[in-house]
Structure 1
Amino acid sequence: MAFKTFVYKLRPTRSQEATMAETLETCRRLYNRALGERKDAYEQEQRSVCFAEQCASLPLAKKESPFLPRVHSHVLQDVLHRLDHAFAAFFRRVKAGEKPGYPRFRGAGWYDSFTYRQYGNGAKFDGNRLVLSKIGSIKFCKDRPLEGKPKTCTIIRKANGWFAHITCEVEPEPLPKTGETVGVDLGIESFATLSTGEQIANPRHYRTAERRLKTAQRRLSRRQKGSNGRRKARQLLAKAHLKVGRTRRDFCHKVAHDLVTRFDHIVVEDLNIRGMVKNHPLAKSISDAGWGTFVTILSEKAESAAKTVEKVNPAYTSQNCSACGERVLKALSVRWHSCPYCGAELHRDHNAALNIRKERRGHRLGGSGSSSYRVRNQNPTGFLAVGVSEK
């Protein structure tokens, strides 16, 4: 079984919008209260408070607070689930030796969603309306029908309004098999280069909208803090950023759908994007490309279509010759691969895509210490760029 989320734009009345905003504020306060309880229990008693213990204390908390009874019980339980997941991720990072990132208290405006954990118990569709317990019957834009079995309903507040995210359990829809395998090299000059030689242009969504975003940011910075004009300017800026995100995701969906339709096995690089964005001159372009979003969407579509996506080590995929396997070192600025051993001439990214495809077949490219590769540095300065270029 697979899961698919359907998003619907809500059309609440002013009173319903105020009730949903009050629900978010109640959830935020409960989250902070539960986090403080865990923090104090450990600091004062060296004791850990678990989800079950906090969940069992909800009935008593409802008697003490006039706001908690106005929120559905499953929504309150989901708040405690989120906090429990935050601590589970914190302990996982501690054990892995990563930066821990202790769960933080949520300030005003930093809690923008609440979830009914069981569709039909607190949230359900009734014709062209979404009925939410403790809130009422809300109009929504029904642009597509639900598929499969609805499981959860999440209400999200965004800069451009309120949305309902219905997660459904659906049966996979396998696509016809083509028997084809493709290697995909993700880049900045071109968004993606396939082992077939095709290049997908990089739309550069953020760069295109950068002037409009700068204007909106200046308008916000000139407004007086706390004023109604600043609130409106902040909302306009948030809408502009949302539009960039939507266009980027739409592009990723279209490219992923095309690849899944044409190929059975798709091989991509397992990129360390978090480390790559530390390269300051390229950080904005790397973030604008949205490689992580694309690979996530591609994997989800492939799973639903009974296709496979494989991630391989990107080391030396641009340096090794796809024809003879010799290693020809070159800086990131060198965009053309010229092999002095076999005479292969092709674009650097096409060469990398061919090597990535070979990784799927099991022909490993070897490590930096492999004796089977002769190394030739075509960069007269002897400099080999690190980070993005070492692939």
Structure 2
Amino acid sequence: MVVEVEAEIPAGQDQIGIDLGLNDTATCSDGAKLEAGRFYRDLERALGLAQRARKKHRVKAIHAKIANRRKDALHKFSRQLVNRCGLIVIGDVKSSSFTRTNNAKSVYDAGWAMLKQFLSYKSAGAGIMFHAVNEAYTTQACSCCGAISAHSPKGRAGLGIRVWTCECGVTQDRDINAARNILALGHERLAGGITAS
């Protein structure tokens, strides 16, 4: 049965940049975060026991519970953003580049692609702008002065650096700084138009 429902356009006019990560699934430019890896931690022991006992139905049920928790958290987070924002810009990180590392389990659990999908269709339904931008160097460049400092985190080797101080004197949180740079990139893309790549 198909039912037509009039879409409610949210009144929010905030502008948000989103940095996707492993410590937190998503970090917004205003400091809001969606914690990562909390969907399965308390079920790991039960899942391991069921797998060793070869209880296929129990394993399937636990995996379904984890998937439902992830989907619920991502739905709620994306709905909150769409309700309060007029522009959402997200870093276009490729999950496949991390799946061959020691962080593969965390990458799969984060649900980055699902979050992008939810934000995309909810934004379209609400009539707000949603863009994915290349996030290269967004972690390294200072969101205040734009310089890439010698103290800034560099690539995967700098993943342990969570807070750093730029040469301009501003102390930056790695993820919030990246989210602010992503938002700035979104503004540049809007001002210059979208080019074919």
User: When the two structures are superposed, what TM-score results if normalisation uses the length of structure 1?
Assistant: 0.45
**1:245 partnered with 2:58:** no
Q: Report the structure number with the largest CA radius of gyration.
A: 1
User: Which runs of no fewer than 5 residues in structure 1 stay unpaired?
Assistant: 1-145, 149-169, 221-232, 365-391
SS at match of 2:140: coil
What is the aligned partner in structure 2 of residue 301 from structure 1?
A: 122
Q: Partners of 1:197 and 1:363 in 2: how far apart?
A: 23
**Structure 1 residue aligned with 2:7, among 173, 179, 187?**
173
Q: What is the count of residue pairs matched by the alignment?
A: 184
Partner of 1:282 in structure 2?
103
Match of 2:51 in 1: 217
Q: Which residue in 1 is equivalent to 2:145?
A: 324
List runs of 5+ in structure 2 lacking aligned partners. 191-197
* Match of residue 131 from structure 1: none
- Decide whether the 8 Å contact of 1:269 with 1:313 is kept in 2: yes
Residues 21-59 of structure 1: CA distance to partner in whole angstroms, max 9, x if unpaired?
Answer: xxxxxxxxxxxxxxxxxxxxxxxxxxxxxxxxxxxxxxx
Q: What CA distance in whole angstroms lies between the structure 2 residues aligned with 1:304 and 1:288?
A: 27
Listed as ranges, the matches of 1:7-156 within 5 Å are: 148=3
Question: Does the aligned pair in 1 maintain the 2:37–2:106 contact within 8 Å?
Answer: no
> Which residue of structure 1 lines up, in the alignment, with residue 195 of structure 2?
none
User: Which residue number corresponds to residue 185 of structure 2?
Assistant: 359
Kept in 2, the 8 Å contact 1:174–1:306? The answer is no
- Counterpart in the other structure of 1:33: none
Are the counterparts in 2 of residues 190 and 202 from structure 1 also a CA contact under 8 Å? yes
Paired residues of 2:20 and 2:93 also in contact (CA < 8 A): no
- Aligned equivalent of 1:14: none
Partner of 1:259: 81
Higher relative contact order (CA 8 A, sep 6+): 2
Q: Which residue of 2 aligns with 1:334?
A: 161
- Equivalent pair of 1:269/1:311 in contact (CA under 8 Å): yes
- 1:273 and 2:95 equivalent? yes
The residue aligned with 2:134 is 313
Q: Is the 8 A contact 2:39 2:70 kept in 1?
A: yes
The Cα shift of 1:286 comes to 1.2
Counterpart CA distance in 2 for 1:200 and 1:248 is 11
**8 Å Cα contact 1:207-1:288 kept in structure 2:** no
Identity of aligned residues (%): 34
Letter in 1 for 2:164: H
Map Cα deviations across residues 266-295 of structure 1 (whole Å, 9 max, x no partner): 11011111122112x211111111111111
Match of 1:49 in 2: none
Match 1:204 to one of 29, 38, 42: 38
Partner of residue 343 from structure 1, selected from 157, 165, 169: 169
Q: Work out whether residues 320 and 326 of structure 1, in 8 Å CA contact, stay in contact via their aligned partners in 2.
A: yes
RMSD over aligned CA atoms reads 1.9
